Structure formats: structure tokens, C-alpha cells
Amino acid sequence: MSTTTPENLLINIKVKDRDGQSHDIEARPGDSLMEALRDYHWGVAAVCGGMCSCATCHVFIAEEWRSAFPQRDVDEEDLVDMLEFEAPNSRLSCQLRLADRHDGLELELAPEE
């Protein structure tokens, strides 16, 4: 019989902030990546609350993790295309749903624009 507790269900994510500092955080599968990042003082502003309209949740996903998420949809693609710091691994973290398979995810916060 499983003895899984809620603590066991968290996944670990490594985040490099805009000052180059590394942070190991925990997140709940089912939450968006933005939700995991917005509560930290160094985290994302997420001004639009996840409506894919502000891009203040912009992150760079580590190359080896890019394929762990579905590709950008049209709305995300349009917004990312307008960013000064857009890169091939740019993602809007509000559009990324976390799952168990993302344990160990690594990413970097994009510069503020």
C-alpha cells in the first residue's frame, strides 16, 4: 500500500534568477510553472495572472528540458515574437503545466523588458 504524502508529490526545479543566483524550489504537479515562480521576491511578476498577455513570466528552459513541454501555441508564439530577449528556448511560464516528469527541471529567468 502506498504511503505517499503530499510532500512526496512535490517536484524539484532549479532556477537561475536575473542576478545569476541559483535557487532550488519545489512545485506542485498540476500548477503552472508561473505559479511556482511568482511567490519569490526574485521570481516572475506574472502581471496578467496567466492570461498570456503580459510576458512578465518569460523564462529560458534548459535545452535538455525543452522537449518536456508541448510546443508554443499561436498565442504564446505571437507574444514571444515581440520580446527583445526572445530565444529558441523562450517560454511563457504561465503556459507550461507542471507534471511529475518535470522533476529536476532547470530554467533561467529572462531579463525584464
The contact pattern for ligand FES, residues 31-70, with x = CB under 6 A and - = no contact, is ---x-----------xxx-xxxxxxxx-------------
**Closer residue to ligand FES (CB): 26 or 78:** 78
Binding residues among 70-109 for ligand FES as defined by CB under 6 A: 92, 94
Which residues have C-beta within 8 Å of that of residue 68, sequence separation ≥ 6? 101, 102, 105
Q: What are φ and ψ of residue 74, in 5° steps?
A: -60, -45
| Shortest distance, position 104 Cβ to ligand FES, whole Å | 23
State the Cα–Cα distance between residues 23 and 20, nearest whole angstrom: 10
- C-alpha torsion sign, points 55, 57, 61, 65: negative
Query: In terms of CB distance, is 11 or 56 closer to ligand FES?
Result: 56
12 binds ligand FES (CB under 6 A): no
Look at the block and give the residue holding cell 536575473. Answer: 18
Residue 100 CB, nearest approach to ligand FES (Å): 23
Q: Cα(96)–Cα(31) distance, rounded to whole angstroms?
A: 9
Site residues (vs ligand FES, CB under 6 A): 34, 46-48, 50-57, 92, 94
